[in-house]
Amino acid sequence: MTDARFHTVWIPLQDRFYRVAFYLLEDRADALDAVQDLYVKLWKMRDNLDLVRNPGAYGALLMRNLCIDRIRRLSPSEELSDDLPGREPPDEELIRKESLGQLLRSMETLPESQRKLLGLHVLQGKSYEEIAAETGLSPLNVRVQVSLARKKLKRHEEH
């Protein structure tokens, strides 16, 4: 892949990748660092990127995996850092991160169609109308399916 092609295909997707990272990491600085790490990784593998059919989906998946790795690598010293104004206490942060792992596992239990619609709405920030135009479903049906997916996730987390 040439430099110019990399810039025209991958660079415009950085906002999408940032939204995925921020959704998972819930911290602006960490999300920006994760996006930077993603682009370093993509650049190193640029010779193979011509084989990717859907750069947005592929990049979002890589971003998700990088964020999960970041959460897993969180060292004990970071978990037990001093409480800073605007930061949650370490025990609550740990609970939130464990909950994130459970949420990701729960999402894998959803039917593919609901997982896709939920991802389009939450991770990509698309409106119900945009998703309806993209999928051919009615906006009401999209709203219902996203709602059902959220309810299933909530029920799965309670068990």
pLDDT digits (tens, 9 = 90+) for 2-33: 889 988 999 999 999 999 999 888 889 899 99
- Is the confidence at residue 87, as pLDDT, over 70? no
Secondary structure letter of residue 136 according to DSSP:
S
pLDDT of residue 94: 63
pTM of the model: 0.49
Q: Domains in the chain and their CATH numbers?
A: 1-73 (1.10.1740), 90-159 (1.10.10.10)
Res 137: pLDDT: 92
Instruction: Read off the pLDDT band of 37 (50, 70, 90).
Output: very high
| Alpha helix stretches (DSSP H) within 45-138 | 55-73, 76-79, 90-107, 112-118, 128-135
pLDDT at 12: 93
The pLDDT value given to residue 98: 66
